[in-house]
Amino acid sequence: MKIIDLRSDTVTRPTAAMRKLMSSAEVGDDVYGEDPTVNRLEGLAAELAGMEAALFVCSGTQSNLLALLSHCQRGDEYIAGQTAHTYRYEGGGAAVLGSIQPQPLDFASDGSLDLEKVAAAIKPQDCHFANTRLLCLENTQAGKVLPLDYQQSAASLAREHGLAIHLDGARVFNAAVQQQVPLERITRHYDSVSICLSKGLGAPVGSVLCGSAALIGTARRWRKVVGGGMRQAGVLAAAGILALTEQVERLAEDHHNARRLAEGLSGLDGIEIDPGAVQTNMVFVRAAKSRLVTLQSFLAERGILVGGYGDLRLVTHLDVDSRDIDRVVDAFADCLSPRGA
């Protein structure tokens, strides 16, 4: 029985083409800047983002951390969503390693941060307060795509107040594909953008941080400081190059599968689901806690893995096809309205 793993798109495995490219990658010592494949990946990422430079790092968490450390000094503050990855899911790294204080705000239901609330949270220049330095947005945020005009307004607000603006774009290609725009139409609004290669794009490891040459120079130094300098990393970067060149358009299939999944589940009793809210590759299922626990173990017996904090989160990706979606819908139906009941 094939295991259908819907816990996250991080579970994707490198494709055969990717493994082949990895095995023949030209390599050098990247700490000396001498790995040609890493240099190609960084050049490609910078070009796609329309930025001067990029840095290949081991994870999205490290990429966001380096962005925070590079934009902010000790005693500075960044504004982020209450459930933003940069605040909630990165072990407090910015505080632990940078003495940088977060100012969390609730996300609006569309994944944005209300700009009036952001403006109100920016601290005046006064020795009582931390220095508000940075606004962090997330796109996609829980599968939701930020509107382009919103991002432009957020960037204007940040600039008006002398803040830098960072995008946690772990899944920003899902947003670009959904909006049918080149990546640069989104990234142009930011001073830095972090992009995961290891989620729906299928690379085994790695993220890229993009920004100005000066910012990336600082981030490169911080990467070394946090122990993230890699040597013959071209083996990994080769997979990243293939992720950026051949895996982006395919994300549309994940979005299609997520919508089919949501529609298939929407008629079932005992769970709440909003197919209209599915924009990219995530479906959220709400139900009483006890039912979610029952569902989770029932599905596990059928070889279907699901997760989430609170609601069930079902994530479609490279290793889930439309037949798998049918199997998942059938399993939910069998659990929620058992035959003969």
Ligand X SMILES: *Cc1c(COP(=O)(O)O)cnc(C)c1O
Residues that bind ligand X (CB under 6 A): 10, 59-61, 64, 85, 138, 168, 170, 196, 198, 207
Of 228 and 234, nearer to ligand X (C-beta) is 228
Min. distance of Cβ 139 from ligand X in angstroms?
9
Select 61 or 103, whichever has its Cβ closest to ligand X: 61
CB of 282 to ligand X, least distance (A): 10
Least CB distance from residue 144 to ligand X, whole Å? 11
Q: How far apart are CA 55 and CA 236, in angstroms?
A: 13
Helix axes 322-336, 251-265, angle to 10 degrees: 20
When the beta carbons of 122 and 197 are compared against ligand X, the nearer one is: 197
Q: Which of residues 64 and 257 has its CB atom nearest to ligand X in the complex?
A: 64
Contact 206, 198 (CB under 8 A): yes
Q: Which is nearer to ligand X, 60 or 202 (CB)?
A: 60
Instruction: Please report where in the chains the tokens 């960044």 appear, as a residue.
Output: 78
Are 7 and 305 in contact by the 8 Å Cβ rule? The answer is yes
Residue 129 C-beta: closest distance to ligand X, Å: 27
Distance CA 181, CA 162 (A): 28
> Least distance from C-beta 138 to ligand X, angstroms?
5
Is 249 in a helix, a strand, or coil?
coil
In this structure, what token pair is assigned to residue 141?
């945020």
Least distance in Å: CB of 338 to ligand X? 35
State in angstroms the smallest separation of the CB of 89 from ligand X.
7
Report the residue number, 170 or 292, with the smaller CB distance to ligand X: 170
Q: How far apart are CA 221 and CA 119, in angstroms?
A: 32
Q: What is the Cβ-side half-sphere exposure of residue 247, based on CA atoms within 13 angstroms?
A: 28
* Closest distance of CB 142 from ligand X, Å: 9
Place of tokens 């920016």: 122
80: CB partners within 8 A, 6+ apart: 86, 87, 102, 103, 104, 105, 136, 138
Cα–Cα distances in Å, from 172 out to 25, 61, 239?
26, 15, 18
Alpha helical stretches, state H, 14-147: 16-23, 36-49, 60-71, 85-88, 93-98, 115-121
Give the residue closest to ligand X by C-beta: 60
- Nearest CB to ligand X, comparing residues 205 and 295: 205
Q: Which is nearer to ligand X, 103 or 140 (CB)?
A: 140
